[in-house]
């Protein structure tokens, strides 16, 4: 009977994970659409310098976003049990850290402006500081929703906030034609998200409880924070180097290329982790289901994002022309190089799931300390060859660190990652072959219309992938998994209607 109960529990959890993944995927498709519209419209209203100002501030001040959270939201989600008193204490700690992070950014705003030699950055930094205060306030409310597996609520909040931010940014851009549109977008997204999340969480914090210890959560969060800070430095050193060496205009150009890559990556990696972490945390003591969930999660995430990145690798010019406009065509080589980095960022997210769900964030911190300096060195070395050198250095370091991260996570979490590695290689090979074939065919046809080129490439990729699925049994299993996820998404949509 116990075995039956466990099996039923596992089945129910699997259904919740599938539903959560389907809802998250649907919301992220919506958010990608919103971000694509925002990217397309604003690129025609603003100049590279405007993007450079905001990117330069966020590359330095963005670390405050990690400090205000302190890893405590992940600690709350991962914890097997969490008392009301512990949740209250975590709320007050996050709120205090948010205020502290915002105050620090506001105070060092003149230093940021001075370091880059751009006086306008001082006022930008002070407005961005508001974002960190709000983020600290809402952190535990969002964690409460995710811990309760209320993925639909979280998805609705995020889509609404993104849409509002886009509307605000476009309105300000039309009115001013300046970087204040991007600043307003940052503030609007977090403000709307904070209001809706607190209103829908169904929980109100009480006063701090001295008898409710959060030492375990703080320890978990501290090690996670250490890893996140070191990783953040590694992921943003390229922007800092470009800003310091080449100025605001070059930073804006590099930022647009980077954001083209991050459009699919950033909108899917972090939400996927929000679904994976609570599910994996519940089964982490049963290695069989645990590894299967990791492999399946990687398959869904990889097959959803990597095809889009392969199009950027092999067909960057028409995509840049459609999304950003013809005046941004100088970004084509940067976009292609950074898209390769995006592929390995997707795969490196999976070791992060293992570290966090297994509660071994100390090992994650050690990994970051040992590996991220290589990213810094690669970017600094590449900067001697200009923006393209920075992009190539960042990409090479990111690709080299993926297998190291996976091996380290498996060793720390005491799980076999052979199946995870094979699944990742399968994703890369399958979509690289399809992307190369699509890019080659498009080049041979040589259409002068970017939309036609993109359409030809998309059809070619689908046809090549169909052949690969027919000939490759393991890829066929992945296709069945994606079909089930799609069926779950359709079912969820029908229920909502």
Q: In 3-state terms, what secondary structure has residue 380?
A: helix
Q: Tell me 100's DSSP state.
A: H
Structural contact between residues 28 and 262, judged by C-beta atoms closer than 8 angstroms: no
Give the pLDDT confidence score for residue 14 in this predicted structure: 54
| pLDDT tens digits, one per residue of 106-134 | 998 898 888 888 888 899 899 988 888 88
Nearest-angstrom CA–CA distance, 413 and 255 = 35
Give the pLDDT confidence score for residue 495 in this predicted structure: 53
Ordered alpha helix ranges (H), 284-360: 287-314, 316-323, 332-357
Radius of gyration of the chain (CA): 22
Q: How remote is the C-alpha of 133 from its chain's centroid? A: 21
Give the pLDDT confidence score for residue 19 in this predicted structure: 59
Cα-based distances in Å from 468 to 16, 236, 332: 31, 37, 29
Q: Tell me 210's DSSP state.
A: T
Structural contact between residues 264 and 32, judged by C-beta atoms closer than 8 angstroms: yes
Residues 278/280/285/288 CA torsion (nearest 10 deg) = 160
pTM: 0.74
Give the pLDDT confidence score for residue 7 in this predicted structure: 41
For residue 414, give every residue at least 6 positions away whose Cβ sits within 8 Å of its Cβ, in sequence order, or none. 287, 358
Nearest by Cα to 475 from 436, 433, 440, 439: 433
| pLDDT tens digits, one per residue of 408-442 | 999 998 888 999 999 999 999 999 999 999 999 99
Nearest by Cα to 384 from 395, 396, 392: 392
Q: Tell me 328's DSSP state.
A: G
What does the longest C-alpha to C-alpha distance in the chain come to?
71
Give the pLDDT confidence score for residue 271 in this predicted structure: 67
Question: Which residues, given as ranges, of the chain have pLDDT below 70?
Answer: 1-26, 28, 78-79, 267, 271, 274, 485-497
Nearest by Cα to 29 from 380, 360, 304: 304
N-to-C CA span, the chain: 38
């Amino acid at each position: 009977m116990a075995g039956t109960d466990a099996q039923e529990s596992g089945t129910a959890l699997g259904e919740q994970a599938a539903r959560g993944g389907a809802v998250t995927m649907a919301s992220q498709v919506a958010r990608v659409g919103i971000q694509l519209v925002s990217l397309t419209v604003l690129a025609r209203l603003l100049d590279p310098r405007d993007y450079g100002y905001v990117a330069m501030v966020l590359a330095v001040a963005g670390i405050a976003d990690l400090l205000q959270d302190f890893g405590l939201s992940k600690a709350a989600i991962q914890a097997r049990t969490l008392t009301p008193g512990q949740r209250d204490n975590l709320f007050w700690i996050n709120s205090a850290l948010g205020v502290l992070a915002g105050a620090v950014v506001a105070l060092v705003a003149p230093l940021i402006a001075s370091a880059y030699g751009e006086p306008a950055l001082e006022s930008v930094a002070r407005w961005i500081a508001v974002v960190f205060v709000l983020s600290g306030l809402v952190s535990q409310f969002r964690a409460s929703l995710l811990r309760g597996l209320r993925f639909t609520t979280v998805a609705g909040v995020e889509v609404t906030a993104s849409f509002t931010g886009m509307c605000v940014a476009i309105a300000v851009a039309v009115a001013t034609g300046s970087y204040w549109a991007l600043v307003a977008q940052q503030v609007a997204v977090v403000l709307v998200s904070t209001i809706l999340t607190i209103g829908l969480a169904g929980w109100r914090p009480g006063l701090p409880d001295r008898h409710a210890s959060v030492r375990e959560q703080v320890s978990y969060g501290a090690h996670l924070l250490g890893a996140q800070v070191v990783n953040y430095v590694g992921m943003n050193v390229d922007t800092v180097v470009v800003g310091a060496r080449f100025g605001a205009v070059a930073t804006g150009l590099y930022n647009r290329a980077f954001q083209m890559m991050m459009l699919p990556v950033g909108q899917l990696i972090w939400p996927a982790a929000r679904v994976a972490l609570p599910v994996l945390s519940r089964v982490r003591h049963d290695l069989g289901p645990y590894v299967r969930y990791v492999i399946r999660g990687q398959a869904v995430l990889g097959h959803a994002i990597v095809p889009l990145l392969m199009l950027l690798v092999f067909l960057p010019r028409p995509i840049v022309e459609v999304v950003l406009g013809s005046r941004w065509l100088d970004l084509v080589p940067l976009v292609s190089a950074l898209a390769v980095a995006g592929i390995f960022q997707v795969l490196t997210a999976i070791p992060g799931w293992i570290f966090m769900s297994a509660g071994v964030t100390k090992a994650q911190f050690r990994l970051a300390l040992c590996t991220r300096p290589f990213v810094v060195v690669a970017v600094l070395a590449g900067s001697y060859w200009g923006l393209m050198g920075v992009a190539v250095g960042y990409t090479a370091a990111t690709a080299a660190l993926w297998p190291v991260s996976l091996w380290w996570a498996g060793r720390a979490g005491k799980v076999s990652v052979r199946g995870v590695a094979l699944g990742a290689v399968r994703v890369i090979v399958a979509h690289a072959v399809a992307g190369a074939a699509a890019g080659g065919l498009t080049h041979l046809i040589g259409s002068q219309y970017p939309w036609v080129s993109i359409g030809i490439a998309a059809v070619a990729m689908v046809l090549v992938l169909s052949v690969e699925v027919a000939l490759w049994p393991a890829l066929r299993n992945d296709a069945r998994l994606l079909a089930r996820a799609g069926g779950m998404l359709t079912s969820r949509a029908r229920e909502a209607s």
